[in-house]
Structure 1
Amino acid sequence: MKNHLFISAFILVSTFTKAQNTIVLDTIYANDQKNVALFFPEPIRQGITGSDNFVFTYNREKEQHLGLLQAKPGKESNLLVVNRDGSVFSYIIKYKERLSKLNYFIPMSSSIGNERPIANDSIKVANSEFSIANREHYYKRFCSYLLDRKQRIGRIKKRKEGVALSVENIVFDKDGLYFLIQIKNSSSLDYDLNFLNLSIETRQKGKKKSLQKLYQGPLFQYNVPSRIAKNETVRLVYVLPKFSLSNERRAVLELNEKGGERNIILSISHRYINNPN
């Protein structure tokens, strides 16, 4: 009898402990027609979604309490948010065509824990490794998101022998400038890409005027082809470190054909660089 009571008590305690350790995550619904606003108790330091069909945006320059969630049709995923004080929030996120709720005011009681029980030095190392490991994944997701948008910065375009090079949009995010580029091949010949470079051009004043060009290496390239087939259009993204230009300087995008002469040099005014979307 005593053994039976002991076993029953052990099972009860084990069940209670498992129930305490099991965290049931709330579900947040979003779509691609409306912004779902999430207001956190402390400013957002980091926010990550687990799938490309969800995008969570927040102010990366100045920490704020507000984050915006959008979704495209697809499988469910999760959202992880870390506040400035180290509190961690986690949610299941799903696409839903019709939304009944657009604003979520997140209480501190919804936090699943805090990242700071670890020593400060360990946190810094972990955050650094996490940042490096996830940077490329973040670039991919954000580039894909930008290509799905229909936002335009202006008419920046140049043609040559049936090939057109254009910059559709320039977007600033965190520490990078995202250049959304389109190459349209309307000719009857395939276009083999040798290189696509972006440089900063400076006009030197004085009696002997000259130009100085400084190549800008991209942080990341997305959807860059090696060949654009005849009657084909490709859209790609170059991510460059954030920069601004004076009136005497401009950006130059150079498209070079491998084994051909259909080369295009497209100038981008400092006004577009200094006023991105």
Structure 2
Amino acid sequence: MKNSIALISFLCVLAFAEAQNSHVTDTILASDKKVVSLFFPNPIRQGITGSPKYAFSFNRDKEQSFGLLQATPGEESNLLVVTSDGRVYSYLLHYSQELDKLSYFIAASESIGNEKSGSAHKHKPKKVLVSHKTLQDTIKTTDYSKLSSQLLKNPLPFNQLKNKKGISIRMTKSFYYDHEVFILFEIANNSSIDFEINSLNLFKVTGNKRRKASYQELLLSPVYLFKIPRVVLKGQKVQFVCVYPKFTLGTNEKLIVKLDELNGSRDVMWRLRL
């Protein structure tokens, strides 16, 4: 009898360990420096993120079973994916500077249900982070990567140059597509020291700074970053694309570009109108 109990206990431990090893992935980490790839068992028909700070792109012209995920710093969100066979997949998304995994191979068993039958998998998402309205607003028809690549190959005319201590920055006029604005930036390092980028921020400014009561700065957070570097080597220049939610400038509104150096004082601020 004791031997039977011991055997049953041992089998239970094995079963628990196996269940732990095959546990469904709940959370996917993403960053703005690296692209995370997700491979599904069937071609992706629709992919939606609950926040514009997370961009999920996939081929909408030709059926493919993988998509690319990238993020900008912000609160957690979620990802909803529907594949060609009607299976629905749902994951939490977290921004992280350090990624321990760059590729996820999704099994069909991770589906939470089917859009036609409505049947649910026993594993349910931990949270519902997005409303129906938000889902509709975040459906993207833009292939960010493809458009950004084309913009780098065929840039629009650049605006005037802003220079400080050998570091210069310029940008193209805005390229509007659907509900986004694409802007190509160029940073040139004509100094004798490498330039490490701490941040590049774009602000929409209203009013006059001398009149503090009427002065406002609104940070425009990008929804996608394409080939933005960490370092601009001495004697070199780099070009990259930032995609922002669509915006327009009023009569008394301007843009401010702030480029800050990491561990240095060669910060560049540029006030302009598009």
**TM-score, normalised to structure 1's length?**
0.48
More helix by percentage: 1
**TM-score, normalised to structure 2's length?**
0.48
> Whose Rg is larger?
1
